[in-house]
Amino acid sequence: MLAYGVTADFMDEYLKIGETTTLRSLKMFVKTVVSIFFEEYLRKPNNDDIARLLVVGEKRGFPGMLGSIDCMHWKEKNCPTAWHGMYSGHIHEPTIILEAVAYYDLWIWHAFFGLPGSHNDINVLDRSFIFSDLAKGLILTINYTINGHNYVMRYYLADGIYPQWATFVKTISTPQGNKKKYFVAAQESARKDVERVFGVLQARFAIIRGRARFFHIETLNDIMMACVILHNTIIEDERADNEEEEFEYEQLTESTHDPVSTDPTPEFNEFSQRHHALRDRKIHCQLQADLVEHLWQQYSAS
């Protein structure tokens, strides 16, 4: 049912297992997968993970980048008629939204699922927990330099709908000049990592490519999280040795981007300062301009 998206009564004809038993087994299976493997395969990046991601991001022309962020809609078949307006958005069908952060190797580092399809990506971001630890000071800080300017905040590549925050690097809608055009091509190429993840996830698990047949949101959440966890286990198993050699993971300890740990600071003033810092538009614009120059310098040197 997860891999091929078949219905429960199909199992009765093919495997001689009753529909009720099949549905119960599926629910127990996905719940068990989430409870056992969530901490390992949907964990937040640790020190080693951050160091590896920063090294690879710098090689791709984006120092300080930790992935790409976007949302995917899962169509819902059994949505009650009274809820259609709440769950229908630009797709004009009832859907449930998955927000994800992914990287070049298709590993999903963040998954937030369950909001109705009438929300856009900004609404999902406001309810997501992706930056909650950063605002609370419970997350690792990083230090890197681009075009002579120092930065201490990680960022993600995003499309045009996301706000102008210091934690996002977006494309330029109407680029003028070769520098900005090259930046747009590089940014949109790297940002496609998360789009590829959604395609691979749906290809591997047809149950989320088709329409969701279950009614309770708790069951749908377990199914989606289980598929994400199983996807990450496959990615871990299929990592090729030549990719490790290409990005020189064995030299991570020599990286200049080693993360620096910060102690929790629960004071409200410091929380407010961090909250405003991650939403700073000036840093967003400066970071984008520095990356334009940085990528152009790399292109000219090559």
pLDDT for 82-109, tens place per residue? 889 999 988 889 999 999 999 889 999 9
Q: In whole angstroms, what is the distance from residue 41 CA to residue 236 CA? A: 9
Q: What is the pLDDT of residue 240?
A: 57
Q: What is the pLDDT of residues 115-155, one digit of tens each?
A: 999 999 999 999 998 888 777 766 667 788 898 899 988 89
Three-state secondary-structure class, residue 188 = helix
What is the maximum alpha-carbon separation in the chain?
67
Residue 181, pLDDT > 60, answer: yes
Q: Say how many CA atoms lie within 13 Å of 260 toward its Cβ.
A: 9
Q: Comparing C-alpha atoms, which of 160, 153, 168, 186 is closest to residue 61?
A: 186
User: Whole-number mean pLDDT of the chain?
Assistant: 86
Three-state secondary-structure class, residue 102 = strand
Q: In whole angstroms, what is the distance from residue 18 CA to residue 230 CA? A: 25
Residue 197, pLDDT > 50, answer: yes
Q: In whole angstroms, what is the distance from residue 291 CA to residue 251 CA? A: 24
CB 240 within 8 A of CB 48: no
Alpha carbon distances (Å) from 167 to 274, 279, 281:
12, 7, 10
Please give the structure tokens belonging to residue 256: 């200049």
Q: What is the pLDDT of residues 231-261, one digit of tens each?
A: 999 999 887 544 544 444 444 443 444 444 4
